A and B are shown apart, each in its own frame.
Chain A
Amino acid sequence: MKPLLEVHNLTTYFYTQDGIVKAVDDVSYDLDPGETIALVGESGCGKTVSALSIIRLIAEPPGKIESGEVLFNGTDLLKLSPDEIRKVRGAQISMIFQEPLTSLNPVLTIGRQLSEGLESHKGLSRGEAEREAMNLLKIVGIPHPEQRVHDYPHQFSGGMRQRVMIAIAIACKPKIIIADEPTTAVDVTIQAQLLELIRGISREFNTALILITHNLGVVARYAHRVFVMYAGKIVEQGTALEVYHRPHHPYTAGLLASVPRLDEPRKTRLLPIRDQPPDLIALPKGCAFHARCDYSIEMCAQQKPTLVQVAKDHYSACWVDQKGHTPWQKKSS
């Protein structure tokens, strides 16, 4: 099967007064129709920027997509004219953002924010679009949609607003939905509901999903394949189960050890990864992770590791791993 979306060697930089921030550096991944993939990593590792680059929502300046290609059904989205990419956004590829509180326009009604995309892409009349908006609110589980279309965002709770964001994302039945940390900003009790809603919708409409998260627990449950990002690069990729059970990168292992897991005895201590992520302006010479890594060897400080296949459909970029050692695995299995 030909992938729906292929990202090849995507590189996005931000030019700030302090220097060049290499937010996304030579990143490649692909997505099949109806598949769910996850981009995982700490905040600031470039996962959001890589997703925004796909539909070219990077603010220019200071951002700039330096190189690479993003093939959507064979068309390079990075080569489209502004008007052509506009017709892809929302209609073919849509996005759910992290902050439901600030991602909705405070001075427009919910109905208007839902209907405007429909009017623009599907050519619906205002009345038709409004009826469709009510229908969408019903799909995402908002009670009394016929009244609530006339409400403003501040009249909704955080979880409800995120449901509205989901409704906006699915309005034009896109082929791909990018969900950028869709549950980070809402209450823990609501998080599972929203994720189930997103998964249900993607199954029902056969929509492919790019799930951006820092929570590997979520990944294991919802994603088919996972891409672990660190300092703008993919350091490990593979099927969710493989990566989850047999991480081939110490960073992945660290992420796994730092989140609570249900399949382990309660006594197991959570192990945070020490120190802070590196400065994306002044990246170290070798592996970006080596200064925080408990297993680093001489080579790690000298040369950047590249992605190498370690098992079927499983790749990792780690010198230690490539020497055949995976001392971190016993800790997490």
Chain B
Amino acid sequence: MFKFIVRRILWLVLVLFVVSLITFTLMHLVPGGPWDREKQLAPQVVDALNKRYGLDKPLYEQFGNFLWGVVQGDLGVSYSFQGRGVTEILLKGLPRTAILGILAFILAQAVGIPFGMAAALKQNSTTDYASVIFSTIFASIPGFVLGILLMILFSVALHWLPTGGWGSPLQLIMPVICLAALPAAQSARITRASTLEVMRQDYVRTARSKGLPENVVRVRHIFRNSLIPVVTVAGPELANLITGSFIIENLFSIPGVGRLFVQGVFARDYGLIMGGVLFYAFAIAILNLVVDVLYAAIDPRIRFD
């Protein structure tokens, strides 16, 4: 177990290195520098800015400096948010994005798993068809489209909810639903499929042949096994939640990491983009690691060697 985690962390470091290398290379292939504005800056000013941010140094030295900073937890300096550190900027947005993501994940599983199970236990019933149709619909409609439809209904037509912003719980409702819709639908589909699969397994028949009460068979023998595939997709689902927050945060004007990052892209803010990419890659890798450990906890067949 310990060895497994160490190996995974080493792999993670390698991935982050490659990701930052790719990002760095791509950013310096971009035509135009960070100081391109509608109003051309004077060459002296550009030189001065380049010097100040170390952009006059050779590329490998810039990359080395950046990596050295990353090791110390410093993701570099933002060029558009004058003089502020990328780490500081991202950490400011992080709690908002995290709260959105965690709430959406909980909501998604709390809705998706029970629906998927109910559908499987009553295969071909109305519950089943309803669950299949709803999960297909929510698995296909993008979060921001759902967001707009909700907004038109609850903000424009009914005036119940604000269209965006951050601060009150009311402002959380729509963004959380939009983020949760896709993973909820996925969880429901996977839970349904895996429960149907598990219900056909020989060991469920064995459990019934022992004369166990039906709810014991369901909870102890079916439920635990049918959750295994749900846990395996939790990693990608969390990654989707994080990248989904890009668009949802823009739609609902939430000053989280995603919105900051998109602002950085528009401003050609190399510092913020590189820092942001690395930050996202790191977050996703850590979440996947946690999911893998969790996976091993519920499936004893998984060995760490």
- Give the interface of A toward B (CB within 8 A): 55, 57, 59, 82, 86-91, 94-95, 97, 99, 102-108, 113, 116-117, 120-121, 152, 154, 165, 168, 171
Contact = CB atoms under 8 A, between A and B. Distances in A.
Interface stretch (B104-112, B205-213, B247-255, B272-280): B205-213
Nearest to A151: B300
A102 B212 contact: no
16 contacts: A89-B208, A91-B211, A102-B203, A105-B203, A105-B206, A105-B207, A106-B203, A106-B300, A106-B301, A107-B225, A113-B206, A116-B216, A116-B220, A117-B211, A121-B211, A171-B210
Given A107-B301, A116-B212, 10 more contacts: A57-B205, A82-B214, A86-B211, A89-B211, A90-B209, A97-B205, A97-B209, A106-B300, A107-B299, A120-B216
B202 interface: yes
Contacts of A107: 224-225, 228, 298-301
Contacts of B207: 105, 116
A117 B205 contact: no
A130 to B, nearest CB: 16
A97 B201 CA distance: 12
B96 interface: no
B8 interface: no
Contacts of B225: 105-107
B202 A103 contact: yes
B221 interface: yes
A210 to B, nearest CB: 13
Given A90-B211, A117-B212, A121-B211, A104 B206 contact: yes
Given A108-B220, A152-B300, A152-B301, A103 B214 contact: no
B203 A116 contact: no
Contacts of A88: 211
A90 B205 contact: no
A20 to B, nearest CB: 19
A140 B213 CA distance: 26
B208 A57 contact: yes
Interface in B216-253: 216, 220-221, 224-225, 228
A95 B211 CA distance: 11
A89 B212 CA distance: 8
Nearest to B225: A107
A94 B207 CA distance: 11
A99 to B, nearest CB: 6
Nearest to A174: B211
Given A106-B203, A152-B300, A154-B301, A120 B220 contact: no
A116 B220 CA distance: 10
A242 B70 CA distance: 86
Contacts of B200: 59
Contacts of A82: 214
A94 B212 CA distance: 12
Contacts of B208: 57, 89
Interface in B154-210: 200-203, 205-210
A57 B209 contact: yes
B202 A86 contact: no
B197 to A, nearest CB: 12
A97 B207 CA distance: 11
Contact of B206 (A97, A120, A154): A97
Nearest to A101: B202
B210 A106 contact: no
Contacts of A57: 205, 208-209
Contacts of B214: 82, 86
A325 B299 CA distance: 61
B205 to A, nearest CB: 6
B288 to A, nearest CB: 22
Contacts of B210: 89-90, 94, 116-117, 120, 168, 171
Contacts of A117: 210-212
B230 to A, nearest CB: 14
A82 B208 CA distance: 11
Contacts of B212: 86, 90, 116-117, 120
Nearest to A118: B210
A168 B220 CA distance: 17
A49 to B, nearest CB: 12
Contacts of B205: 57, 97, 103
Contact of B209 (A55, A87, A99, A104): A55
B218 to A, nearest CB: 13
A57 B203 CA distance: 12
A233 to B, nearest CB: 25
Nearest to B200: A59
A111 to B, nearest CB: 13
B209 A89 contact: yes
Contacts of A90: 209-212
Contact of B299 (A55, A89, A106, A171): A106
Nearest to A94: B209
A108 to B, nearest CB: 7
Contacts of A120: 210-213, 216
A167 to B, nearest CB: 12
A314 to B, nearest CB: 32
A52 to B, nearest CB: 8
A103 B301 contact: no
Q: Which 10 A-B pairs have the closest CB atoms?
A: A89-B211, A90-B211, A90-B210, A117-B210, A102-B202, A105-B203, A103-B202, A95-B209, A152-B300, A103-B206
Contacts of A86: 211-214
Nearest to B209: A95
A86 to B, nearest CB: 5
Interface centre among B200, B214, B216, B220 (most CB of A within 10 A): B220
A73 to B, nearest CB: 16
Interface in B269-305: 298-301
